[in-house]
Structure 1
Amino acid sequence: MNESSHTRVSEDERERALGELSRHFSGGRLTAPEFEERSTAVWAADTRRELAQTFADLPAAPALVPGSEVGPIPGMVVRAGAVAIAATVCWLVLGNVLWLLLFGVIPALLLLAKRRR
């Protein structure tokens, strides 16, 4: 087994993985319950091997074309998108629109806290 598969994952790696899951969800490869289950697995993953298992049945991300202007998505954008998707899933599953309000406030508070630092 590869030594790097036992390497512990960082928060940035988890955020990138969540962004990739969001891409698969928006592409129709995952249902809302599958996205929620895999998102939980991403945040619970301790090693790169555990993180990779979340994507075992999904196609790999296309490589960026050299010279393209598209770069990595900033972490705060990924977090805000993940929170928005989680709010939508809670709203659809639980049937209460207040989830959208609650989860809409969390990213705003995170942005304010980050700006004050």
Structure 2
Amino acid sequence: MAKERIKENVIDAPTLFVGVGGTGCRIVRRVAEMCRPGERENVNFVCLDTNVNDLASVSGSRSHIYTVQTSNTQTVGNYLDYDADALNNWFPKNAVLYDKTVSEGAGQCGDHLRLGLQRVP
């Protein structure tokens, strides 16, 4: 039986893989690590997350991945001080969350993620 020759994948068009949140970033990291050197010429990877620790683990991979932290180190309460709409209309009334820093991650809470995308002066 003849040995099968596997042709290297050729990616002509520029391709961007985007991971959002912890799980999305882990998936992008796995895809990036599976790419062989010749396949990376027209491929880029970017991860967006509120959690600084998740981004640090992605940055530590052997593949080059751009990371974007979508929050800062202020607390949820600080964010709510500048966003009356969130405080009064859509963010859950939960005092325990107010002391948590947004950079700790959204923890599967869509409202926390939405708040983290707000820019605080």
Name the structure where strand makes up a greater proportion of residues.
Answer: 2
Structure scoring higher RCO (CA < 8 A, sep ≥ 6) equals 1
- Shorter-normalised TM range: under 0.3
- TM-score calculated relative to the size of structure 1: 0.27
Whichever of the two has the greater Rg, that structure is 2
- TM-score calculated relative to the size of structure 2: 0.26
Name the structure where helix makes up a greater proportion of residues.
Answer: 1
